[in-house]
Chain A
């Protein structure tokens, strides 16, 4: 079987993956807090590179490569634009940190900020109903809520003259984005065995919190459109290769009449 066939097919597959990624980026262009993914192409080698085994005579195995591999990587630490909404329960992160929330099964999920709400027992939670790990309970008679850029949450109540401190929202930083997987609704699942370290907002480069704002997605339409065109052409080129390989095999089959 002609190797060109497989290499072409692998190339089609990789470009397909790139197309899926671009489609997902574009469809989330107005999702707040969305982080775009990027496809990283690497050449695939038929035999694993091993400098020790490699003989001087490379001509004996001239083609060691066998196509391309596409990995999808999410650009987690890439800031989106902070947009002011005026809603005191909207929270954005200006920096690369993430907020820890309690998942439905008690596991830790990471959240890039968004709309908050106050639960029926006064607990501060995301709009989708997951409690913050910071475990902040808002008094029932509170009239206003303040979240400082350092994450300290204060409530104004009719009984106290000054706002009461309720707790502090901490941020965690993930340097290697491959240890987190995106889950639904802008949350990220953390791989087992990965240790997360809390930092106060404003320290250790985790960034600060911005109340009354939402973070826009970091998708740039121009770039996605250009990528889309490139992918389309690259896909077509790989299809040409498959077709030529098919012709070649037709030729070989036709040798014996």
Chain B
């Protein structure tokens, strides 16, 4: 009988997690380069392995978002596969498709979180001014002179980028490769690929799932109450 209430508890906490994921997708519906995150329930193999945390699998939907034109020369979008490589202050390497950059001290190109865009030679990209031109293959031109190249990367076949949320990704060591024919668009941004209708349906779904679990708990409670009163009478 205790397994029964455990299951109900797991369903409840699962639906709460799904709701959180939906909430995050909705909150980022206007975040450029954001990729929709989805939590899937997994079939539990062992009957007692009902811990809610292990039942959910997070996946990221890498569908291309709409590209839209902006007026900022450091807004970059990728059409097709690939991600920009970002460097943290601590030497960590992360990947993103959200290309809203600005110039920081010394001409470094950073995103809103302060992570620096990396050029193809593995150093921070430095731009001399904002009149630079970035070609679709990632070559950065100052006037007519190429000064650097921005490469885009993808996980090698059989591996996957690990999501840290919906806009930053980390790659397994040594399992990234440059995209052969990248398509970098300067002055454009990729819209978030969250679909509002889907999110609303997911939210309703999570809520109904929770309602179902609540019913289970109540039924269990009723049964226990009945058992106590019935057996209690019998002993008198």
Contacts and interface: CB of A to CB of B under 8 A. Distances in A.
Contact of B102 (A7, A73, A238, A244): A73
B19 A244 contact: yes
B157 to A, nearest CB: 19
Interface stretch (B29-37, B76-84, B117-125, B228-236): B29-37
Contact of B200 (A59, A240, A257): A240
A64 interface: yes
Interface in A63-98: 63-69, 71, 73, 75, 77-78, 96
A63 to B, nearest CB: 5
Given A62-B53, A244-B207, 13 more contacts: A2-B16, A45-B168, A52-B90, A52-B92, A59-B54, A62-B39, A65-B24, A65-B164, A67-B24, A176-B104, A237-B200, A251-B210, A255-B217
Interface string A114-140: 000000000000000000000000000
B37 to A, nearest CB: 8
User: What 8 A-B pairs come out closest when comparing CB atoms?
Assistant: A11-B27, A65-B165, A7-B23, A4-B23, A51-B92, A41-B31, A42-B112, A3-B20
Contacts of B102: 73, 176-178
Interface string A1-38: 01110011011001100100000000000000000001
Given A14-B27, A175-B107, A7 B112 contact: no
A133 to B, nearest CB: 23
Interface string B161-182: 0111111101000000000000
B130 A10 contact: no
A162 interface: no
Interface of B: 12, 15-17, 19-24, 26-32, 34, 37, 39, 53-54, 56-58, 70-72, 88, 90, 92-94, 98, 100, 102-105, 107, 111-113, 129-131, 162-168, 170, 196, 199-200, 203-204, 206-207, 210-211, 214, 217-218, 221
A230 B30 contact: yes
A77 B129 CA distance: 11
Contacts of B217: 255
A234 B162 CA distance: 27
A232 B15 CA distance: 28
Interface range, A side: 35 or more
A2 B15 CA distance: 11
Interface of A: 2-4, 7-8, 10-11, 14-15, 18, 38, 40-43, 45, 49-52, 54, 58-60, 62-69, 71, 73, 75, 77-78, 96, 175-178, 205, 218, 230-231, 233-234, 237-238, 240-241, 244-245, 247-248, 251-252, 254-255, 257
Contact of B105 (A68, A176, A177): A176
Contacts of A241: 22-23, 26-27, 203
Given A73-B102, A240-B203, A43 B16 contact: no
Given A43-B28, A234-B29, A8 B23 contact: yes
Nearest to A7: B23
Nearest to A68: B27
Contacts of B28: 11, 41, 43, 65, 67-68
